Structure 1
Amino acid sequence: MRVKKGTVLFESFNGKDVSDNPFAIYKQLINDHPSDRQRYYFSVKPSEYQKLSKQYPDIQFVKRFTPGWVKYIARAEYWVMNSRMPKWWRKNKQTVFIQTWHGTPLKKLGVDIDNVEIPGSSTAEYHQEFVTEAARWDYLIAPNQYSHDIFKSAFKYSGQFLDIGYPRNDVLYTGNTAENIAQIKQALFGFQPKQIIMYAPTWRDDSFSEQGKYKFEMPFDLKKFFENVDSNTLLVIRPHYLVKDRIDITGFEDRVKILADVDINQLYLITDLLITDYSSVMFDFANLERPMLFYPYDLAHYRDQLRGFYFKYDQANLPGPMAENQADFYQALNEFTQVGSFDNFSHNLQAFHQKFCSWENGQASEKVSHLILQGGKRHE
C-alpha cells in the first residue's frame, strides 16, 4: 500500500496522552501549515479516547489497535512517537519513523541495563526488543551530545540523528515570561502563589506489590516540610500516573496539589525550586537555570541494584545539593527559604546547563516541522 502524502500519525507514551515531544511537533506543524490540519492524527488508547477528545476538540484522534486505526497507521507518511511500537506491527517501507524519545537518560537504558526488574519480561527479551525496535527508526532526536552517545549505545542505533534539542523544551524559552507564568498559575490554582516548590520523583521499576498494582510512599513529612519553607509556599507533587491516586495529603489539601496530568512544561515554568531524585526532569528544568534539590533517599538500592547510572551521581556533578536523609533534606529546604538559592552550587548549575542544554534554543519543533513539510529524507 502506498502512503498518503503529508499524513502524519502522532503518538505519545503508547497512546496514553497528548503530550511531550510529539505534541510540541504537532502544534508547530499546525502553526506552520494550518491548512494541513486534516492530515494529522493522534493515536490514543480507546480507554483515553473520550477524555482526550473532550480535552482537545480540534485534534483528530484514532483509537489505537482498532480496525479503524490500521488504515491510518499503515498509510501514514510519517510516524512521530516518543516510545516504542509493538514489534508485531510492521512499518510500511515508505513510512518515515521519527522517534523523539522522552528524556535525557541518567539511569541505564535499553541494552545497557544489566538486570531488568519488570514483571513478565526477562533481561534478554527486553534487550532484544529495544534493538529490534530501534532498527525501524529513520530519525532519532537527541537533546544533547551526552544523550546522542548513550542512545547510539543503548539502542544499538545506526540511523540518522537529529541533534537539535527537545521540541517539548522550546516553550521553556518562548514561554518564560512573567505574564505567561502568571496566566499558568491563575489557570491551575485560581490565584498567584508566592512560591511554588515541585516534587517530581522518578518512576521506580520495583514499586509494585504485585503485577499491575503499584505503591507510593511520601519520603518526607508534610508538616515538617512546611515548617521549613515560606508560609506562602505551594507544594506541587508530580508523580508517575500509575501512583497518582496513592498519595496521602490529608490535612494539607490547600497547600499541596497533585498534578500528574498537567503538561509538565507548564509546571517547570511556574516552579521556583525543583525537588527530584533520579528523574530526567533535572535535565529539562536545567534550561531555566533555577535551583534544584536532590533527595535520593534510596540511592544505594537504586544505583546498585535497580538500574545503575551513566554518570557519577554525587555532589560534585549535580546542579544542586544532595540530601540522603530527612534531616539534611529539611536543612536544605531551610537554606533555600533563607537565601532563595543554593549559592555553593551556582558553578555546578552553570556547568550542568552547558553540558545538557547547549543545543536547546527554542527552535527544535520548527526544525522537525520543516523536515516533515519539506518531505524529509526517505530511507528506502
Structure 2
Amino acid sequence: MKSKLTSLIVRTIKVFFLFFSWLPMKKRLIVFESFLGKQYSDNPRAIYEYLKKVHPDFRMYWSVDRKYEKNFLNKDIRTCKRLSFKWVYLMARAEFWVTNSRLPLWIPKPKHTTYIQTWHGTPLKKLALDMEEVYMPGTNTTKYKENFVNEVNKWDYLVSPNAYSTKIFRRAFAFKGEIVESGYPRNDYLINSNNDYTVSKIKTAADLPKDKKIILYAPTWRDNQFYSKGSYKFNLQIDLEKMREELQEEYILVLRLHYLISENIDLSRYGNFVYDLSHYGDIKDLYLISDILITDYSSVFFDFANLKRPILFFTYDLEQYRDTLRGFYFDIEKNAPGALVKDTLQIIYEIRKVERNGYNPSKIAREFYNKFCYLEDGNATKRLVEKVFFK
C-alpha cells in the first residue's frame, strides 16, 4: 500500500513538473542542492556565496530535505522543501541547477535549464561504470549503472578539480558534455581563510576548546553495511578510551561521519575528549581547525592536503575494501600522502612521532600535492562562474 501511494505521489509531481517546464524559463533563477538536500555546504555553497557577493542579481534557492531543515536555519538563504509544489515549480522554471550529487531519477530536465554537476570529491575508490560489482541496497550492478547513465545524460557541465579526475570522470560517468577543470570551488575557502581569526571563530561556534590541538576522524561508508537504501551502518574501530588515555592532555578528537551513515554514537563516557560533529554544517570548517586528519578511503584527504598538514590512513579493512567492495584508482599503499595504520596503537604512535619531530612532508606527500592540488589557488569559483554562468 505504501509503495503504491509513493508511486502515485511521484507520478503526480512529475505531471506538475512537465506542465511547469513548458512555461518560459525564469532567467537568472538558480536552484542549489548539496548532498540530497541535507546540507548547506560543499561546491554548491561556494558557488552560491560567490554569486551572492559578486552577482546579486541572480535569484537563488536551496533545495532542502524536510528532515534536515534545521541545517539551513539562520543562514539568510531562500529555501524550498525538496519535492514540494514550490520546489517543482522552481526546478521546472530555473535557468540553472547546481548540485553535487544525483537528483531523483524521474525528473526530466527542461530544455531551457543548464544542469551543473559539481560532484563531491577527487576519486580514490572506483565510481559508477568502473565498479565491477555494486553491493548497495535496493539495486544491482546492471540497474545501478543504467540509472547512473540516465542521470549523467542530463548534465550539461561537470566540474573537475584536476586532470587526474577529469580522465576518470569522463570514463566512469560516460559523460559526453563539457568538463570544467577549474579546481574545486569549495577549496577556495581553505586557501583564502586559513588564518588564526577564522580558526578561533569556528572553534567558538562549535563550542570546542581553544587550548587543545584537534584530530579530525572522517571515514567513508561501506557499501555492504546498511540498514536500508541510503541508510548505512558504521562500526567505529578506533579504541576511543585508549585514545583519550594517551592523548587527552594535548588533543581532542572530532568525529565527522559520512552523510550517508545513520549511526548516533554514544560519546558521553569520553568526557571532553571526543566530539561528534557529523552534523556540523560544512566540513571545510573542520579541515581548517584540525591539526591532524585521520581518514580511510574517503576523498576528504585530497582536500585536506591543501593545508599541508599530517594525514593518517586508518585502513583496518584495506584488503576487503580494495579487493571486494570498491577497488582503487591508484595504489594507496605506495602513494598515500601519509602513514597507513591498522589499529589504535599505531595511530597513537604516528601522532606521537609528529609531536616529537614536527611535520616534514615526505617526497610522496609533496608529489601528491603537486598532482592533485595544483589548481587550488583560491580562484576556482571565479573560473567556474565565468566559464559557465556567463558563457
- TM-score w.r.t. the length of structure 1 is 0.92
**Structure 2 residue matching 1:354: 3-state secondary structure:** helix
AA aligned opposite 2:376: E
Q: Find the partner of 1:279 among 298, 302, 308.
A: 298
The alpha-carbon deviation at position 250 of structure 1 amounts to 3.6
The aligned residue for residue 27 of structure 1 is 49
- CA spacing shift, 1:239–1:184, aligned 2, 3 Å: same
Structure 1 residue runs of 4 or more that deviate by more than 6 Å after TM superposition: none
- CA spacing shift, 1:212–1:150, aligned 2, 3 Å: closer
Unaligned runs of 5+ in 1: none
Matched, 1:216 2:247: no
AA aligned opposite 2:35: F
- TM-score w.r.t. the length of structure 2 is 0.89
The aligned residue for residue 183 of structure 2 is 165
The aligned residue for residue 290 of structure 1 is 309
The alpha-carbon deviation at position 210 of structure 1 amounts to 5.5
Q: CA RMSD in A?
A: 1.8
The aligned residue for residue 71 of structure 1 is 89
Q: Find the partner of 1:308 among 317, 327, 334.
A: 327
- Separation (CA, whole Å) in 2 of partners of 1:179 and 1:132: 46
The aligned residue for residue 81 of structure 1 is 99
| CA deviations over 1:27-79 (Å, ceiling 9, x no partner) | 0000002243xx11111123333x245232x2111111122211110110011
Q: Find the partner of 2:164 among 139, 146, 157.
A: 146
- Separation (CA, whole Å) in 1 of partners of 2:65 and 2:232: 20
Matched, 1:10 2:32: yes
- CA spacing shift, 1:338–1:359, aligned 2, 3 Å: same
The 10-residue stretch of structure 1 (364-373 or 149-158) with the greater mean CA deviation from structure 2: 364-373
| CA deviations over 1:328-378 (Å, ceiling 9, x no partner) | 33322321232232x4x521211111111011111111223334552x3xx
1:229-248 correspondence runs (5 A): 229=247, 231-243=249-261, 245-248=263-266
Q: Find the partner of 1:55 among 71, 74, 80.
A: 74
- Separation (CA, whole Å) in 1 of partners of 2:223 and 2:352: 31
Residue pair 1:193, 1:234 contacting (<8 A) in 2 also = no
Residue pair 1:216, 1:246 contacting (<8 A) in 2 also = no
Residue pair 2:216, 2:255 contacting (<8 A) in 1 also = yes
The aligned residue for residue 347 of structure 1 is 363
1:134-213 correspondence runs (5 A): 134-189=152-207, 191-209=209-227
- CA spacing shift, 1:273–1:55, aligned 2, 3 Å: same
The 10-residue stretch of structure 1 (61-70 or 215-224) with the greater mean CA deviation from structure 2: 215-224
- CA spacing shift, 1:48–1:223, aligned 2, 3 Å: closer
Q: What number of residue pairs does the alignment pair up?
A: 368
- CA spacing shift, 1:373–1:146, aligned 2, 3 Å: closer
Matched, 1:252 2:270: yes
Q: Alignment identity in percent?
A: 45
Residue pair 1:165, 1:364 contacting (<8 A) in 2 also = yes
- CA spacing shift, 1:76–1:216, aligned 2, 3 Å: same
The aligned residue for residue 367 of structure 1 is 383
The 10-residue stretch of structure 1 (121-130 or 223-232) with the greater mean CA deviation from structure 2: 223-232
- Separation (CA, whole Å) in 2 of partners of 1:264 and 1:212: 20
Residue pair 1:15, 1:43 contacting (<8 A) in 2 also = yes
Matched, 1:265 2:284: yes
The alpha-carbon deviation at position 209 of structure 1 amounts to 4.9
Residue pair 2:214, 2:254 contacting (<8 A) in 1 also = yes
Residue pair 1:13, 1:83 contacting (<8 A) in 2 also = yes
